[in-house]
């Protein structure tokens, strides 16, 4: 049936876009080159390491480094980034430190956190610090002047601020992942982008950047669950009309016309 075909097309995209950017903050990884477990982070937008949703990535770096990861978010999704940093030994540190995560969209516009703890100051003897940032729902379309999150590539940046110079360069281990939920048709808008906001093919000092779409492609933005409720509402309205007609037609005479002799 047509309804079945529409529902099949409306199934959420389960493939996540893998953005193959090369990282330069290297990490001690598995050594077998498995892309399923990224073990490095980039040091800029151009070298951001690609991760998928629900994929845990790690990186070993030095305190003071800027660490970057890139991940896809599609229309209708609410993404949350999580980051945990294992801090250097307390004996090697001299003061408290403040850690921060920032999220940028495909246009490198910083996105506000709807929920979470994107910035935290920890004591000198803290063993680790955990951060999170929940983004607003990604819209299919937006006015040019607005800062609404749009489908495409997003960047997670992890860094430390307010650090004493004596603590720079100490080894740290970072672990990040991205989760997402479907906001549903209540957040749907009319219109859609011609293309998702993903970086075009380019080149860095080492290797070119490539973009891989989800298995079923990016959502066009035309579909949302509100189409189902619109259809159901239309059917119910039609049934109500038929039922009302059946109840009011009586013996078949127009209402108000007396029966003739």
Which of 36-50, 53-67, 225-239 is predicted most confidently? 53-67
| pLDDT given for residue 196 in this prediction | 80
| pTM of the predicted structure, to 2 decimals | 0.69
| pLDDT given for residue 97 in this prediction | 95
Average pLDDT, the chain: 76
| Predicted confidence (pLDDT) per residue in 14-41, tens digit | 333 333 333 444 443 444 444 577 999 9
Q: In the predicted model, is pLDDT for residue 85 greater than 60? A: yes
| pLDDT given for residue 116 in this prediction | 97
| pLDDT given for residue 143 in this prediction | 75
Q: In the predicted model, is pLDDT for residue 205 greater than 50? A: no
For 41-78, b/e burial (b = at least 16 CB within 10 A) is: bbbeebbbbbbbbebebbbbbebebebbbbbbbbbbbb
Residues 6+ apart with CB under 8 A from 125: 90, 93
Euclidean distance between CA atoms 176 and 87, whole angstroms: 14
- pLDDT tier, 201 (very low <50, low <70, confident <90, very high otherwise): very low
| Predicted confidence (pLDDT) per residue in 210-239, tens digit | 444 555 667 754 444 544 545 556 667 777
Percent share of the chain, pLDDT over 70: 65
Q: In the predicted model, is pLDDT for residue 208 greater than 80? A: no
Q: What mean pLDDT comes out for the span 138-162?
A: 88
């Amino acid at each position: 049936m047509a309804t079945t075909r529409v529902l099949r097309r409306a199934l959420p995209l389960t493939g996540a876009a893998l953005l193959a950017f090369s990282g330069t903050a290297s990490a001690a990884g598995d050594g077998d080159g498995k892309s399923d477990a990224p073990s490095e982070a980039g040091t800029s937008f151009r070298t951001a390491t690609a991760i998928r949703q629900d994929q845990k990535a790690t990186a070993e770096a030095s305190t003071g480094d800027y660490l970057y990861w890139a991940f896809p978010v599609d229309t209708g999704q609410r993404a949350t980034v999580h980051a945990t940093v294992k801090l250097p030994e307390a004996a090697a540190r001299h003061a408290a430190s403040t850690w921060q995560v920032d999220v940028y969209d495909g246009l490198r516009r910083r996105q506000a956190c709807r929920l979470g703890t994107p910035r935290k100051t920890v004591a000198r003897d803290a063993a680790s610090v955990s951060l999170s940032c929940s983004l607003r729902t990604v819209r299919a379309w937006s006015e040019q002047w607005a800062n609404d999150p749009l489908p495409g590539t997003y960047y997670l940046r992890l860094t430390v601020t307010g650090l004493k110079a004596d603590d720079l360069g100490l080894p740290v281990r970072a672990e990040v992942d991205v989760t997402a939920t479907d906001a549903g048709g209540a957040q749907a808008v009319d219109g859609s982008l011609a293309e998702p906001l993903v970086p075009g093919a380019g080149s860095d000092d080492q290797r070119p950047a490539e973009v891989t779409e989800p298995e079923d492609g990016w959502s066009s933005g035309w579909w949302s669950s509100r189409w189902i409720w619109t259809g159901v509402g239309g059917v119910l309205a039609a049934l109500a009309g038929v039922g009302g007609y059946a109840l009011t037609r009586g013996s078949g005479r127009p209402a108000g016309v007396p029966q003739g002799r």
